[in-house]
């Protein structure tokens, strides 16, 4: 018994040390697991306030390439509310019953730089994700201007303009060839459920 009582204070200290080491290892393991889990969990972002006004169902109308057109547009947040996906479908049909115009557009705003980016995919030209379908723009008030470069001398200027008083949007599209800019479209989007 004398031998055991002689080592008892030392055993208590070693036991306390061992217990503290185990607790420290557990805390580190939990922290590392939480870091790994948070790195894999998508961030929940708040939608961009200006783009959020574009979410919903719309009827697009107006002159486009010299003709009056009507398209249905549906815009919704996708991928954890990071991208606004727009689906634009013409009511006009081709001879085989397909929409004469069909597009999927992705709009996003970088929260750090506040720069908007657009990826425009449509059935008028196969682009294989070429840079001509991608552009960046910086909002000016309630307008988001984009300039799509199709060649060294050809550009498409597309501006989204939100009209707060009427809760509508305007799309202005101009084509530029060799420094000459011409109006291509002046379109208005009204909510599909408005009269």
Q: Buried b / exposed e across 57-94, counting CB within 10 Å, b at 16+?
A: ebbbebebeeeebebebebebeeebbbbbbebbbeeee
Q: Average the pLDDT over 19-35 and give the result.
A: 49
The pLDDT value recorded for residue 111 is 83
Q: pTM to 2 decimals?
A: 0.72
Number of H helices, E strands in the chain: 2, 10
Distance CA 26, CA 1 (A): 35
Confidence of residue 11 (pLDDT cuts 50, 70, 90): very low
Class in CATH terms, 49-191: mainly beta
Q: Which of 29-43, 57-71, 77-91, 120-134 has the lowest average pLDDT? A: 29-43
For residue 20, the model assigns a pLDDT of 47
In degrees, to the nearest 5, what angle opens at C-alpha 160 toward C-alphas 97 and 137? 115
Average pLDDT of the segment spanning 102-108:
93
CA 194 to each of CA 139, 168, 169, 170: distance values in angstroms, whole numbers, following the listed order: 27, 10, 13, 16
Q: Are 99 and 90 in contact (CB under 8 A)?
A: yes
């Amino acid at each position: 018994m004398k031998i055991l009582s002689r080592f008892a204070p030392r055993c208590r200290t070693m036991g306390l040390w061992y217990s503290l080491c185990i607790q420290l290892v557990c805390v580190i393991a939990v922290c590392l697991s939480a870091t790994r889990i948070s790195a894999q969990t998508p961030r929940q972002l708040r939608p961009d306030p200006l783009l959020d006004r574009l979410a919903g169902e719309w009827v697009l109308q107006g002159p486009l390439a010299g003709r009056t057109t009507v398209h249905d547009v549906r815009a919704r947040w996708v991928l954890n509310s990071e991208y606004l996906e727009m689906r634009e479908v013409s009511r006009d049909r081709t001879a085989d019953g397909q929409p004469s115009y069909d597009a999927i557009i992705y709009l996003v705003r970088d929260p750090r730089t506040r720069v908007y980016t657009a990826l425009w995919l449509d059935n008028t030209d196969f682009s294989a994700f070429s840079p001509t379908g991608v552009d960046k723009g910086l909002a000016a008030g309630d307008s988001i201007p984009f300039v799509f470069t199709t060649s060294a001398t050809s550009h498409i200027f597309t501006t989204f303009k939100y009209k707060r008083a009427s809760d509508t949007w305007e799309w202005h599209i101009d084509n530029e060839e060799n420094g000459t800019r011409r109006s291509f479209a002046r379109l208005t989007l009204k909510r599909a459920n408005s009269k």
